[in-house]
Amino acid sequence: MRVFLTGGAGYIGSHTLLEVLSEAHEVCVYDDFSNSAPEALARVEQLTNRKFLAVTGNILDQMLVAKALVEFQPDVVVHFAGKKAVGESVAKPLMYYENNVVGTLSLLRGMEAAGCRRIVFSSSATVYGNPQYLPLDENHPLSATNPYGQTKLMVEHILRDWCATQLDASAVLLRYFNPVGAHDSGKIGEDPHDIPNNLMPFVSQVAVGRRKKLQVFGGDYNTSDGTGVRDYIHVVDLAKAHAAAISFAETHTGCEAINVGTGQGASVLDVVAAFEAASGRSVPNEMVERRPGDVAACYADASKAQNLLGWQATRDLADMCKTAWKWQSQNPNGYQG
């Protein structure tokens, strides 16, 4: 199959690119490198020994994205390109609505020009808002507690309506829980461009000495140890879920939302302990106030992915920390060398 990856040089995009190339698909990556590095693509090419096309472009450049799609003629598009920092979205909502929502409309226009009617979308468990029950299944009510979450919810609605206009269209909305870890080689991984918002890259940077101390946001939640509980999923498992979703989109029509998580929750202190065990380094930390907008616990009912995609997560928290540490320790400054 011919697969077009927007944001294919990013953290999840580059791991999915590697999986898709390993399955001998023809691939075109479309990325503006605003939150990724060309070096990631070079390393995927080295790891797979496979060639692929790469177009440098912004998803909002409707002419360019349409030209790339018409020339490549994809069977399916995997849409990663978008902004994803919750805090930044609160500070700069218009940038998020423009990039994530208008950007998706620009992509869909280009897909129509190219006659491509299959898309796999990078959605997020954030569309569930504050959990009303756990584990979260795909029937849980949808709501957003921040502009980032709103953009994911809006794009889900756009894709559902887009699908309804064409009998042969397919949209798979993958609702990620908390992606962490790195490829076993340690050559590709998460490389946040400024202070990490997320737990695992921050812990990793403390362990390698780039940051002094981890602030644990809240120790008074109604959880096993008082700290926030999340469903961390290995990025390689997540990449394999995308490969399975591509196959599903090829043989099915309609719009399906699917959770991509392990179904297991882990607390902040669980992650710290697992990372210290995996790295042999200490992770100094201090308990501080809760972070506004955080929920106590969030983890998936991942049975629909098993039933529809034949996919389930296989890698545990220890492996997530081990691979995250291998990437970080081999690349202390990420792709900047």
What positions carry a catalytic annotation?
148
Q: Hey, what are 41's tokens?
A: 């693509």
**Applying CB under 6 A, does 283 fall inside the site for ligand WQD?**
no
Contact residues for 267 (Cβ-Cβ < 8 A; gap 6+): 223, 224, 225, 227, 228, 229
Which of 218, 334 has the CB closer to ligand WQD?
218
Cβ at position 112, least distance to ligand WQD in Å: 27
Please identify, using beta-carbon distances, which residue of 108 and 214 lies nearer to ligand WQD. 214
Residue 135, preceding bond cis, omega within 30 degrees? yes
The answer to whether 228 contacts ligand WQD (rule: CB under 6 A) is yes
Residue nearer to ligand WQD on the CB measure, 1 or 142 = 142
Residue whose C-alpha is closest to residue 247's, from 81, 120, 114, 110: 120
Q: What is the 3-state secondary structure (H, E, C) of 253-313?
A: CEEEEEEECCCCCEEHHHHHHHHHHHHCCCCCEEEECCCCCCCCEECECCHHHHHHHCCCC
Rounded to a whole number of angstroms, the minimum distance from the CB of residue 214 to ligand WQD is 6
Helix (H, G, I), strand (E, B) or coil at 320: helix
Least Cβ distance, residue 283 to ligand WQD (angstroms): 11
Q: What is the DSSP letter of 131?
A: -
Span of 14-22, 208-216, 306-314, 316-324 interacting with ligand WQD by CB under 6 A:
208-216
Work out whether 257 is an interface residue with ligand WQD (CB under 6 A): no
Query: Considering beta carbons, is residue 197 or 329 the nearer one to ligand WQD?
Result: 197
Question: Of 95-103, 162-170, 211-219, 309-317, which part binds ligand WQD (CB under 6 A)?
Answer: 211-219
Q: Cβ 87 to ligand WQD, closest distance in Å?
A: 9
- C-alpha separations of 231 from 44, 157, 178 in Å: 27, 25, 6
Q: Minimum distance from CB of 93 to ligand WQD (Å)?
A: 15
Residue whose C-alpha is closest to residue 139's, from 175, 164, 104, 101: 175
Q: In angstroms, what is the minimal distance from the CB of 293 to ligand WQD?
A: 8
- Contacting range for ligand WQD; rule: CB under 6 A; set: 40-48, 155-163, 209-217, 329-337: 209-217
Q: Tell me the DSSP string of 64-87.
A: HHHHHHHHH--SEEEE--S---HH
Cross-strand pairs, 121: 79, 173
Phi-psi region of 261 (alpha: psi -120 to 50; beta: other; left: phi over 0): beta
Residue 83 near ligand WQD by CB under 6 A: no
Decide: is 215 part of the binding site for ligand WQD (CB under 6 A).
yes
Nearer to ligand WQD, 62 or 285 (CB): 285
Q: Is 176 in the site for ligand WQD (CB under 6 A)?
A: yes
Applying CB under 6 A, does 143 fall inside the site for ligand WQD?
no
- Residue 11 in contact with ligand WQD, rule: CB under 6 A: no
Q: 66 or 173: whose CB is closer to ligand WQD?
A: 173
- Residue 158: how many CB atoms within 10 A of its CB? 16
Q: Are 170 and 253 in contact (CB under 8 A)?
A: yes
CA 89/CA 212 separation, integer angstroms? 26
In the bound state, the residue with its beta carbon closest to ligand WQD is 228
Nearest to ligand WQD of 108, 298 (CB atom): 298
Query: Can you tell me whether residue 208 is helix, strand or coil?
Result: helix
In the complex, the residues that contact ligand WQD under the rule CB under 6 A are 84, 86, 124, 126, 176, 178, 197-199, 202, 214-217, 228, 230, 268, 291, 294
